[in-house]
Amino acid sequence: MLSTFAALLKRPIRMHHTPAGKRLVRYISQSAITTVFSFAVLGLVYGVLRLWTEVPSTVFANVVATVPSYYLNRNWVWGKSGKSHLKKEVLPFWVTSVIGILLSILAAAEARHIGLTYFPHNHGARTALVEGANLFAFGVLWIGKFLVFNRLFHVPSPTDLVSEAVAEETSGAVAGDDAA
């Protein structure tokens, strides 16, 4: 049982050293960075400054966070440089982002309803609820966006990534067998 667990841990560690694994780690990191940024903006405009209600605050925070998300994805995660291609990169990226924003609007509206029903006099609880709803909405799209971005920026598909990791693991096992 312990050896099975150890083998399960070795696969992601080996994959991390592949180009696909490094890309996945950068994608996760980029997502964390832009999520924190979006949460900070949302917390500021809704939680602290109280500029707007839940829905406009959520839309604003997500639109603002989409700009650094695009550049981090394009440049850092997928290693693209130079001028962006409008039809092949920019528009599809914004379409997926708008889908995420639309989901976040639905989630924020539901969070507003729940918050006003159960926490009508507790703005801090309503803020936490809106932040959680926003996280949920974008979490739903996170994997789908990764698959779309892989196609947008012309990199191997997730199936290729797994095949690459398995091939590397197999070649390492074969090389290890030869050495013994």
User: What is the secondary structure of 58-87 as a DSSP string?
Assistant: HHHHHHHHHHHHHHIIIIIIS---SSPPII
The tokens for 153 are 């920026």
What is the pLDDT averaged over residues 34-50? Answer: 95
Alpha-carbon dihedral 48, 49, 52, 57, rounded to 10 degrees: -60
Helices (H), the chain: 2-16, 19-42, 54-71, 91-118, 123-152, 158-179
Per cent of the chain over pLDDT 70 is 80
The tokens for 166 are 């398995």
What is the pLDDT averaged over residues 128-141? Answer: 87
Distance (Å, whole) CA 143 – CA 145: 5
CB atoms within 10 A of CB 32: 10
Q: What is the mean pLDDT of the chain?
A: 83
Among residues 141, 13, 145, 28, which one has the least CA distance to residue 77? 28
CB atoms within 10 A of CB 126: 22
The tens digit of pLDDT for each residue in 43-85 reads: 999 999 999 999 999 999 999 999 999 999 999 998 899 999 9
pLDDT in the model for residue 3 = 72
CA distances from 58 to 4, 80, 98, 144 (A): 44, 29, 12, 21
The tens digit of pLDDT for each residue in 140-174 reads: 888 777 777 777 776 555 566 566 666 666 655 54
What is the pLDDT averaged over residues 86-109? Answer: 89
Q: How confident is the model at residue 5 (pLDDT cuts 50, 70, 90)?
A: low
* DSSP code of residue 49: S
Contacts of 174 (CB under 8 A, 6+ apart): none
Residue 69 CA to its chain's centroid (Å): 9
pLDDT for 25 beyond 90 = no
What is the pLDDT averaged over residues 5-18? Answer: 71
